[in-house]
Structure 1
């Protein structure tokens, strides 16, 4: 039996992310950083959304595809530099994913939809774009907040948490409040919500 287009697309996305030279160790196992991130995106999406579309699942898996190829340090360390870096990344992620989807035989309209989602268009207006944004925020809160909080002062972390909360839907907020935080993380989350 021929493997589905969807499964082939996921395999190819993972093959790209497998090449990430940056590695992280979790529970004694070493992972390419963006491969682990993409797997966490999929796991979180499937736990958050009952029946996500193929387009949404692919967009979640490819959210950071080959992210290491465009380092943050290549852009000015300013707000404008950060935003420019993020826009360049989104474009690259969408183009790479479009190439993969074209290779496995998806139709143009489907590919356009995935690109639309990866570019996070019309958050708050498009239901799937909002779901993807919720999942991105939930993955950050569950897996990356602790490390981020160690590297930055509390005021900056609280500010980021406030901004994160604003991007999320009511359903996203409910899921975020069910995450098991460390004592420090919970303190920071509460401080951010109290100052909303």
Structure 2
């Protein structure tokens, strides 16, 4: 791994995410929301799979790059609208990352690998894509689920947790059960996976 090139890529991803107008408090300080998400993705990947490949590390950091640029409210507020929004986001995340990787000198083959990971291509067949999916789920459960659960019914939360669980590998599920979650979140997960 060319450490200098890798650090340049991470820096450029973070610089773009620093432009997020949405803010979040993290360790007592206000940060751009997607920058916090990117740091949580990298930290979680490091804990979950310390030997992750360079392409996977970059894909994790860039998972939500520029996410605020495509507003959810620009799409119908139904399942089809949600899925279209998510598809458009994945394409945008991949394109923004591709541009950064090309600028810092990565090969087309490497850039394509990262792009495919971000778009979750061949999810159950590609081990790195599955690892990335596990990390996405772990970050959601660890950092966002408690607040998310305050806005939805138990029935809907259990359905979402079951879908989340289905996307995870056995290793991801084991890591999820080891998270230090609040009692309410833990109870909901237990109900969902019974």
TM range, normalised to the smaller chain?
over 0.9
- In the alignment, is residue 177 of structure 1 matched against residue 177 of structure 2? yes
Partner residue in 1 for 2:191 = 191
* Large movers: runs of 4+ above 6 Å: none
CA distance in 2 between counterparts of 1:51 and 1:77 reads 40
Structure 2 unpaired stretches of 5+? none
CA distance in 2 between counterparts of 1:3 and 1:120 reads 25
Partner residue in 2 for 1:136 = 136
- Give me the CA root mean square deviation: 1.1
- In the alignment, is residue 97 of structure 1 matched against residue 97 of structure 2? yes
- In the alignment, is residue 108 of structure 1 matched against residue 108 of structure 2? yes
Structure 1 unpaired stretches of 5+? none
Partner residue in 1 for 2:13 = 13
1:123 is paired with a residue of what secondary structure?
A: coil
1:24 is paired with a residue of what secondary structure?
A: strand
1:151 is paired with a residue of what secondary structure?
A: coil
Distance 1:4 1:138, change over 3 A: same
2:30 is paired with a residue of what secondary structure?
A: strand
CA distance in 2 between counterparts of 1:111 and 1:3 reads 16
Give TM-score, length-normalised by structure 1.
Answer: 0.96
* Structure 2 counterparts to residues 19-58 of structure 1, below 5 A: 19-58=19-58
CA distance in 1 between counterparts of 2:35 and 2:26 reads 13
* Structure 2 counterparts to residues 53-72 of structure 1, below 5 A: 53-72=53-72
CA distance in 2 between counterparts of 1:63 and 1:128 reads 13
Shift in Å, 1:3? 6.7
